């Protein structure tokens, strides 16, 4: 049992470090090639924050632990909104004034409803996975086109991405970090999945529950750190943009990859409990951050507290229903 916990913690730490190194190398490489900062931020950095979930889900599905993979995707989306943005808004209320983000909200809701429609039959099939991966490709193309349109305009999100993308890193060093980051990502994902499965068996709970709780929280730690730092530095657009991009990638790439690798049926709780919570939180975030009250959108401390309490309540509900 101790070895499983050591593997899980070591896997989380290595996963966070390697994802950061991978994003550093990829962003620096793209910048050296002359790619616009807004495109780097919306694609490479968005993918980087979801890399832990993608790798963990792929390895879990390959090992026939699809419950862990599905739970990780949905649980990470819930944690990103309720835990990450909740805590970040408690640290510093977030003001949102970006047309780019306002265009991404409907896309996020659409992809979640698409995943629900495909999985409503209680099965994540290979066809479902192909549809989700194809949609993921289309969203990436749309983000690139949006970035090209925004490149010549003044946008708060573009300014924040420009400030955050690394400069002064040579092409050779950037590529080296990509390789190191990717290798450690794969190895740490294997370590994390092995530890998580061992813990699930020791406690007698399903892979789904472990994916929704321990693994989801662990793989959301990079988003939590980035969002809190972004809130403290006043980079609210990028903090929220990272969450929206990560949730889009989780829904399409993580669930899609799981379906392609290992088509399977899943536990009914996914549709009865977890999907409604994920979509409900997404809608709540939409109304909080869109700016319906006039002026720029804003997530204040009260709303942040509500989000954080919602996450605590969700975790408690899973615990009570699992142990009862």
Residue pLDDT, tens place only, 274-298: 999 999 999 988 888 776 665 667 7
Contact between residue 28 and residue 169 where contact means Cβ atoms under 8 Å apart: yes
What CATH architecture is 2-323? Up-down Bundle (1.20)
Contact between residue 306 and residue 288 where contact means Cβ atoms under 8 Å apart: no
- Concatenate the DSSP letters of all residues of 192-216 into one string: HHHHHHHHHHHHT--HHHHIIIIIH
Domain coordinates in residue numbering, the chain: 2-323
pLDDT of residue 285: 86
How buried is residue 97: exposed, middle or buried, by Cβ count under 10 Å (0-12/13-18/19+)? middle
pLDDT of residue 266: 92
Token pair for 152: 């010549």
Phi, psi of 220 (to 5 degrees): -90, -5
Token pair for 254: 């993580």
pLDDT of residue 191: 86
Residue pLDDT, tens place only, 68-112: 999 999 999 999 999 999 988 898 888 776 665 677 788 899 999
pLDDT of residue 175: 84
Report the distance separating Cα 90 and Cα 106, nearest Å: 25
Phi, psi of 298 (to 5 degrees): -155, 135
Ranges of the chain with pLDDT below 70: 35-49, 97-101, 146-168, 235-238, 291-296, 323-324
């Amino acid at each position: 049992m101790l070895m499983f916990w050591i593997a899980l913690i070591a896997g989380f730490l290595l996963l966070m470090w390697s994802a950061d190194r991978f994003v550093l190398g990829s962003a620096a490489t793209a910048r050296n090639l002359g790619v616009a900062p807004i495109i780097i931020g919306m694609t490479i950095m968005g993918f980087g924050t979801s890399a832990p979930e993608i790798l963990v889900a792929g390895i879990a599905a390959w090992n026939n632990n699809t419950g862990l993979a599905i739970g990780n995707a949905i649980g990470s989306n819930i944690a990103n909104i309720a835990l990450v943005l909740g805590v970040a808004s408690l640290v510093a209320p977030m003001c949102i004034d970006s047309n780019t983000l306002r265009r991404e909200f409907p896309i996020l809701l659409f992809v979640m409803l698409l995943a629900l429609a495909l999985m409503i039959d209680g099965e994540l099939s290979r066809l479902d996975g192909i549809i989700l991966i194809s949609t993921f490709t289309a969203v990436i193309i749309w983000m690139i086109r949006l970035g090209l349109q925004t490149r010549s305009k003044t946008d708060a999100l573009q300014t924040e991405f420009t400030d955050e993308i690394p400069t002064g890193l040579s092409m050779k060093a950037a590529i080296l970090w990509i390789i190191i980051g990717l290798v450690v990502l794969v190895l740490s994902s294997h370590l994390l999945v092995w530890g998580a499965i061992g813990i699930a068996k020791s406690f007698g709970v399903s892979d789904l529950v472990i994916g929704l709780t321990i693994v989801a929280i662990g793989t959301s730690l990079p988003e939590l750190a980035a969002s809190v730092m972004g809130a403290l530095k006043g980079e609210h657009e990028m903090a929220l943009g990272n969450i929206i991009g990560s949730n889009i990638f989780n829904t399409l790439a993580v669930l899609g990859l799981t379906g392609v690798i290992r088509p399977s049926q899943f536990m009914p709780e996914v549709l009865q409990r977890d999907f409604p919570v994920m979509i409900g939180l997404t809608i709540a975030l939409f109304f909080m951050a869109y700016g319906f009250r006039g002026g720029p959108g804003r997530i204040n401390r009260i709303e942040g507290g509500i989000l954080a309490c919602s996450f605590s309540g969700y975790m408690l509900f899973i615990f009570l229903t699992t142990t009862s």
